[in-house]
Structure 1
Amino acid sequence: MFKNLVKFISLIIFVSINNFSIGQENKMIVIEYSHFLEVNEIHGPDVKILKEDVVLRHNSAQMYCDSAYLNVKENFFIAFGNIHVISPTEDLTDTVHLFGDSLHYSGKEKLAEVRYNVILQKDSMILYTENLDYNTSDNIGYYFDGGRTLNGEDTLISKNGYYYADTDDLYFKDSVVVLNPKYTMYSDTLKHNTKDKISYLLSPTDIIASDSSNYIYSEAGWYNHTLDIGQLNKNPVLTHKKQTLVGDSIFYDRNKGLGIATDNVIIADSVQNVRLKGNFGKYYEFTERSVITDSALFIHIQDNDSLFMHADTIRSIIDTLRSGTDTTTFRLIKAYYKAKVFRSDFQAKSDSLIYTFLDSTIKLYKEPVLWSDKNQLTADYIEIQTDSNEISRVLLTNNSIMASKSESHGFDQIKGEKMVAHLKKNKLYKIDVEKKGGIIYFMLDKEKLVGINKLECINMVIYMLDNEMEKIWYYGNPKGTIYPPKDLTESEKVVKGFKWLKQYRPQKWQDVFIWEKSGDTSENDVIDLKIEKN
């Protein structure tokens, strides 16, 4: 008489309920506790209606709720109110807590579908969403309608996400945002480990500092939120103010304000129109300093020309000039060990040099050489002063020599302890010589060598026209003689210390990487004026 069965059964269930299992142990859902259990003809004998303080277990997962409908035959239940699922991790050393308003659980699939006001918690990590499916066997959760995760100082947001409890990994997909007091990340796909607090970049990712002081971009790599360091491995970019660092890979330390790039490195300054290139570079945000090595190249992009410089190491630093109450900051470029410079109107080489942006001055140290048009200038120290991107003056100090090829007969030479060369529109028009002045000049008559003029004095001023000596003023006991060419030996035709250094002169900007050319080079080499603005 099924209709006359008692429709409502009140049970005080303790030990008996604990031993009440449906089907095989660890495969069927087990009722651990329920204050009320009801079976009615509407739902049929296979459905158990559980109410108040309901506790269900499936394998190692424990589930709590206010009420539930348990289908014994289908090994499935629907639960309502104060949902709490406790699921241990695979190694049983940790536990996942899952909360929500309702729960659909399949014993066959070991799948908990939690809906509305869902919270997933493990240790200090908390995930909030409205819909979450969680596999109690694999310990994998999935949300598909937007989620927000709190992990330490970080808030991680995405439309879709997977959580792997055994490995503490979260995979975020679609409209990913990571909020941190120091920065914000934007991505499409991101992996995050909640234990290590490391985010792995799996798609194009932007990281923007909260104070907008810097910007990071990369398509692959990782970022450690605890240490504030990151490794950027695909098309990385680090931008700080007007400075940009790129390379095949970049290591970044936010606390030190340091970016270290390797391979195909470029450090660009958009204000100064400057680029540093090489295969290893560092950029320091706090001081705006940078250093580049391994095929280091400095490029200063100018109006219709560019200056190229190579050395073993090139540094870019900020210096300060104080005058009274005024303070001026400016950039210095320091290049050392086998430095070479190419610009279409002049070329230079030295062991080291300093390029000052304050007054556009280039200072060459240790065996410097400057070439301009047909002239070669050497001294112990050379300073190139420019105005409006053109050389205006060249200062030569100690053992100063200026020479040019005199057709095929020899070299016209000017010497002195100190020399100042003056230029207009990149043409030499005057030379001031101080102390121990001297000239060796090859005199031609219709391209025929008729004599060699050798003169010495203390000081002199030489006026030039079309690269030829037009007028000379001598000061202090000038002594000079014009010699027949055959009366002088080869060593007497040159001043002391003179060397013609054509093998070092770059003919195009790519030659700055070649310290010394091997073999014979023609005296008629033409400077390549084609400038590639890389």
Structure 2
Amino acid sequence: MKYLHPILFLVFIFTVFLVIPATTFAQNVVQIERAREVQNVTKDGEPIRKLYEARLKTGNVVMVCDSAWHYLNRNEIRAFGNIQIDTSDEIIWSDTLYYYTNEELSLLRGRVIIQQDNTTLFGEKVDYNFLTKVAFFEEGIRLEDEDGTLIAQRGTYFQNQDSAIFRGNVQIADSAQYAEGDSLFINRETEYLQLYSNIFVADSTNNGILTGDYLEADSSGRRYVDGNSYLRQISADTTDTTHINSDQLLMLDQDTTDLVRSYGNVRVWSNNFSSVSDTLLYDSSSEVFELISNPIAWHNNIQLAGPYISVQMDSNQVRQLKAYHKTIAVQEDSVTGRLHQIKGDTLIADFTKGDISRIKIYPNSQVLYHTKNEQDEPDGAVEYSSPQTVMYFKNGDLNRVVAGKNDGFFFEEFAGLKDRRLDGFTWNPDRRPQRPQVEAVPRFPPVPTARPFELPARFLEHMLQRVPEE
């Protein structure tokens, strides 16, 4: 069939359409719309139609390729070289194709690209069903859309449900966020995702890092982390960093307000404040931390314990601590190491520029305060009970005390005075959270900007056609 005159070649192709307009495979019809050359051969007793530089159509699927083998008794087409497949829903490019027409199944190998709406997928071994619109990426997947890029070792993409499952070294990146994990389920229409195992999320917009065992997120801004959750937040002016560890973490975005809910073994550390509790609630609009169930909070040399503690922040500084119901505060003297103790039903501690300025405790206040002589040596202690006590501080040291009617006494210095304790005393410096020594970092190198292979010629031609004229 070589070197046919162009007119004779066109006549031949027209004759092919007249004589053999279609071949039926099960319920599918394969049409040869054009071909530079057609050969009918028999191999191992099986009839095969070989086509070169062909354009084929079956149903709503149109394919062009360098060559194709049409197995007439097998419901199978094998295509090779520079393949492009067009349907009403997607365009596919590949180096090799095995297409089983009765099952609408295509085995795509080589440089595989699937383009659907604003989504482009890249892989080198893809099984795709034209009927169910499900694609299986067995040896690597790269997904690109207007929101960013996703890569993984394997993936399954469900076009009709606009959902996908990715497994193995999953990475997601855009201009502002990066996330990674061992596997991912995502519904892109609802922006709902589940990220599993060894998760790491970095948000450059909010200077935040999130890690844990499992992450669930949706379009509302809700993010839930289960198992070994960790949140690091750097203040807008970069002067302070807050670290929160817990068993579970829930983050909610409400307009301009961020809500944080931590549950189970909650530990907080920042430059000016640290705490442990069973539950933590934080509201960014009010800058209030609420510590619930067995909380202990520390600020400089002060420890505060009680069933409920609230911490009012102001520009990364502690402005006020509140504790309710049988609360006790302990301050370690910076010179003598003695432990001053204050307890009562309600305690309010105010701070000025990071230093404690006033403590008010009421009702049923009890105070044990160790005194010093002019040489800053221990010199006895004062212990009393009063309906209300207000203590004023200067540069972190006690300056003045105002108490209501009180019942108390003064202790002369003696050997065991430093060990005297009020009822309910608790002092737990060993439980005080410390700044993490090792920063959380990604496990994987950055998502490559380059595609995983040299782009096929027909794909490049298609992209050039999509470029708008200036």
Same fold by TM-score, threshold 0.5 exceeded?
A: yes
1:245-324 alignment, distance < 5 Å = 245-285=179-219, 287-302=220-235, 303-319=238-254
Q: Deviations over 1:28-77 (max 9, x none)?
A: xxxxxxxxxxxxxxx9xxxxx9xx9x9xxxxxxxxxx754xxxxxxxxxx
Checking the alignment, whether the CA contact within 8 Å between 1:252 and 1:260 is kept in structure 2 is yes
What residue identity is the alignment partner of 2:119? T
1:380 Cα deviation from its structure 2 partner: 2.2
CA distance in 2, matches of 1:104, 1:165: 20
1:296 Cα deviation from its structure 2 partner: 0.9
Determine which of 178, 185, 189 is the counterpart of 2:115: 178
What residue identity is the alignment partner of 2:360? D
What residue number does 2:34 align with? 101
- Does structure 1 residue 331 correspond to structure 2 residue 258? yes
- Does structure 1 residue 342 correspond to structure 2 residue 269? yes
1:269 Cα deviation from its structure 2 partner: 3.6
1:344 Cα deviation from its structure 2 partner: 3.2
What residue number does 1:17 align with? none
Inter-CA distance 235–96: structure 2 relative to 1 (3 Å threshold): farther
Which segment is superposed worse, 405-414 or 255-264? 405-414
1:219 Cα deviation from its structure 2 partner: 4.7
What residue identity is the alignment partner of 2:278? D
Q: Deviations over 1:456-503 (max 9, x none)?
A: 3233332223432122223x2133321235598899x32232211223
Q: Secondary structure at the match of 1:236?
A: strand
What residue number does 1:397 align with? 324
Q: Secondary structure at the match of 2:131?
A: coil
1:125 Cα deviation from its structure 2 partner: 4.8
CA distance in 2, matches of 1:200, 1:283: 24
Determine which of 232, 236, 242 is the counterpart of 2:170: 236
- Does structure 1 residue 459 correspond to structure 2 residue 393? no
CA distance in 1, matches of 2:274, 2:65: 69
Checking the alignment, whether the CA contact within 8 Å between 2:140 and 2:155 is kept in structure 1 is no
CA distance in 2, matches of 1:204, 1:456: 71
Q: Secondary structure at the match of 2:264?
A: strand
Q: Secondary structure at the match of 1:247?
A: strand
What residue number does 1:71 align with? none
- Does structure 1 residue 133 correspond to structure 2 residue 61? no
What residue number does 2:100 align with? 165
Checking the alignment, whether the CA contact within 8 Å between 2:54 and 2:67 is kept in structure 1 is no
CA distance in 2, matches of 1:157, 1:403: 70
Checking the alignment, whether the CA contact within 8 Å between 1:147 and 1:160 is kept in structure 2 is no
Checking the alignment, whether the CA contact within 8 Å between 1:395 and 1:421 is kept in structure 2 is yes
Checking the alignment, whether the CA contact within 8 Å between 1:170 and 1:194 is kept in structure 2 is no
What residue identity is the alignment partner of 1:163? Y
What residue number does 1:436 align with? 364
1:278 Cα deviation from its structure 2 partner: 0.4
CA distance in 1, matches of 2:63, 2:173: 34
Which of 1 and 2 has higher RCO (CA within 8 Å, sep 6+)?
A: 2
CA distance in 1, matches of 2:109, 2:324: 66
Determine which of 192, 195, 206 is the counterpart of 2:128: 192
CA distance in 1, matches of 2:328, 2:314: 24
What residue number does 1:57 align with? none
CA distance in 2, matches of 1:214, 1:120: 34
CA distance in 1, matches of 2:19, 2:81: 22
What residue number does 1:58 align with? none
Checking the alignment, whether the CA contact within 8 Å between 2:56 and 2:62 is kept in structure 1 is yes
What residue number does 1:149 align with? 86
Inter-CA distance 172–487: structure 2 relative to 1 (3 Å threshold): closer
CA distance in 1, matches of 2:77, 2:360: 83
What residue number does 1:205 align with? 142
CA distance in 1, matches of 2:273, 2:398: 20
Inter-CA distance 257–384: structure 2 relative to 1 (3 Å threshold): same
CA distance in 2, matches of 1:163, 1:177: 16
Identity %: 18
Checking the alignment, whether the CA contact within 8 Å between 2:209 and 2:231 is kept in structure 1 is yes
CA distance in 2, matches of 1:229, 1:222: 9
Inter-CA distance 265–452: structure 2 relative to 1 (3 Å threshold): same
Determine which of 341, 344, 351 is the counterpart of 1:423: 351
Checking the alignment, whether the CA contact within 8 Å between 2:336 and 2:376 is kept in structure 1 is no
What residue identity is the alignment partner of 1:276? L
CA distance in 2, matches of 1:82, 1:496: 104
CA distance in 1, matches of 2:19, 2:297: 84
What residue identity is the alignment partner of 1:438? Q
1:142 Cα deviation from its structure 2 partner: 1.2
1:448 Cα deviation from its structure 2 partner: 4.6
1:345 Cα deviation from its structure 2 partner: 2.7
What residue identity is the alignment partner of 1:248? D
What residue identity is the alignment partner of 2:387? I
- Alignment size in residue pairs: 420
1:28-47 alignment, distance < 5 Å = none
Q: Aligned Cα RMSD in Å?
A: 3.4
Q: Secondary structure at the match of 2:427?
A: coil
Checking the alignment, whether the CA contact within 8 Å between 1:247 and 1:262 is kept in structure 2 is yes
Inter-CA distance 331–244: structure 2 relative to 1 (3 Å threshold): farther
Q: Secondary structure at the match of 2:90?
A: strand
CA distance in 1, matches of 2:162, 2:347: 55
Q: Deviations over 1:207-235 (max 9, x none)?
A: 42xxx567644453111112332111244
What residue number does 1:505 align with? 432
Gaps of 5+ in 2: 442-470
1:370 Cα deviation from its structure 2 partner: 0.8
CA distance in 1, matches of 2:260, 2:161: 32
CA distance in 1, matches of 2:19, 2:233: 68
CA distance in 2, matches of 1:417, 1:351: 21
Which segment is superposed worse, 224-233 or 189-198? 189-198
Q: Secondary structure at the match of 2:79?
A: strand
